[in-house]
Amino acid sequence: MSERIGPGGTVGILGAGQLGRMLAIAAARMGLKARLYAPEADPPAADVAPVIRGDWDDADALRRFAASVDVVTLEFENVPVAAVETLAPLVSVRPGARALAVAQDRLDEKQFLNAAGVGTAGFAPVDDADSLRAALAALGLPAILKTRRMGYDGKGQARIDRPDQAEAALAAMDGQPAILEAVALFAREISVVAARGADGGFAAYDPAENIHRGGILRRSAAPAAIDAETAARAQGIARAILDALDYVGVMGVELFHMPDGRLLANEIAPRVHNTGHWTIEACAVDQFAQHVRAVCLWPLGDPARHADAVMENLIGDEALGWARIAAEPGAALHLYGKAEARPGRKMGHVTRLSPLGKG
């Protein structure tokens, strides 16, 4: 299980969305095969690699999947931990169940980060009206109430600016365990996409500066508008997190850069990350190839940029402008093969490069 997986080997990927699609493409570039596992019919990655369809709790299907691949990784953080635990005795799973478990629960995630010496905005668990009142008294306003599990792209959360909004915010959680987080009045949002090998080797891409709208990433620009010392601190935080998890693979670490210079961790994602898509055009070894390298026990690649980059997500109907974008000089268009352009759905992205230092 610990031997390097060379060309001709097969990488198993849990999940078959756009990240699985791009991981499969990266594996193919490296002479590797990819096979994906997902419960959905006709997912985006099915266009580029075979998909074994099965439910996450189908132990027989998971065992068949394990027998058909040389290593297993994942494309999104909401793969049930139990599925990974079913696979782990049969085939190496990188990253493993611990990273998933931490990332799937916002309270566990914040507590893990603090224990690893990484600062966060204030937070408190919320299970009912009494604990919400206590959390609001401790943290003050404004604050954001979030479900502890399964929220993404702005889903499962409600902002509280005034005391009279608390009851509605709690009702929006629909009885699920929640966490109240103090609003961080940051100067900018940045992220570090970093990789760690099984031997402890580490490689981090330059921090990107991100703009979100409605909880959905709109734009990532690399490099972020921060000085070299802040960039090094951000990469150091990423390394501390990956080391604490004994992590193998690529992870996205989202940070708030505060006006006083502090860096507070917002969340971690144990997978390749939307804010690292710019690496496809701007780096010799992009985040997807880097992840495949790490989980297959190859040497990590050089994360250096050869250009500045701006990546913009194409949300919903924005992807219908593909012909115009395709005609734009210098625009690198990526479409994810999704049949229906629903509001708020990531349909693709476009990256534009500029010379180093002139972005």
Which CATH number does 122-182 carry? 3.30.1490.20
List, in sequence order, every residue forming a beta bridge with 331; answer none if it has no partner.
Answer: 352
Task: Report the CATH fold assignment for 10-93.
Answer: Rossmann fold (3.40.50)
Provide the pLDDT for residue 88. 97
Global pTM reads 0.95
Reported as half-sphere exposure (CB side, CA atoms, 13 A), residue 128 has a value of 1
Query: What residue type is 282 in one-letter code?
Result: A
Which residues make up the CATH 3.40.50.20 domain(s) of the chain? 10-93
Mean pLDDT of 203-228: 96
Mean pLDDT of 12-30: 98
- The pair phi, psi for residue 211, each rounded to 5°, is -125, 125
Which residues make up the CATH 3.30.1490.20 domain(s) of the chain? 122-182
pLDDT, mean over the chain: 96
Provide the pLDDT for residue 1. 43
Taking 60 as the threshold, does the pLDDT of residue 180 lie above it? yes
Task: Calculate the dihedral angle through the C-alpha atoms of 71, 76, 81, 87, rounding to the nearest 10 degrees.
Answer: -20
Per residue in 165-177, pLDDT tens?
A: 999 999 999 999 9
Percent of the chain with pLDDT over 70: 98
- Maximum alpha-carbon separation in the chain: 61
DSSP classification of residue 300:
P
Could you tell me which residues come within 8 angstroms of residue 80 by beta carbon, excluding any fewer than 6 positions away? 56, 57
Which residues make up the CATH 3.30.470.20 domain(s) of the chain? 188-354
Provide the pLDDT for residue 151. 65
Per residue in 234-248, pLDDT tens?
A: 999 999 999 999 999
- The pairing of beta strand 208-213 with beta strand 188-196: antiparallel
Per residue in 315-358, pLDDT tens?
A: 999 999 999 999 999 999 999 999 899 999 999 999 999 999 87
Could you tell me which residues come within 8 angstroms of residue 104 by beta carbon, excluding any fewer than 6 positions away? 77, 78, 81, 149, 150
List, as one string, the DSSP characters of 209-239. EEEEETTEEEEEEES-S--HHHHHHHHHHHH
Per residue in 250-302, pLDDT tens?
A: 999 999 999 999 999 999 999 999 999 999 999 999 999 999 999 999 999 99
Taking 90 as the threshold, does the pLDDT of residue 154 lie above it? no
Taking 80 as the threshold, does the pLDDT of residue 209 lie above it? yes
List, in sequence order, every residue forming a beta bridge with 315; answer none if it has no partner.
Answer: 346
Task: Report the CATH fold assignment for 188-354.
Answer: D-amino Acid Aminotransferase; Chain A, domain 1 (3.30.470)
Percent of the chain with pLDDT over 90: 95
More confident residue, 156 or 276: 276
Mean pLDDT of 29-38: 98
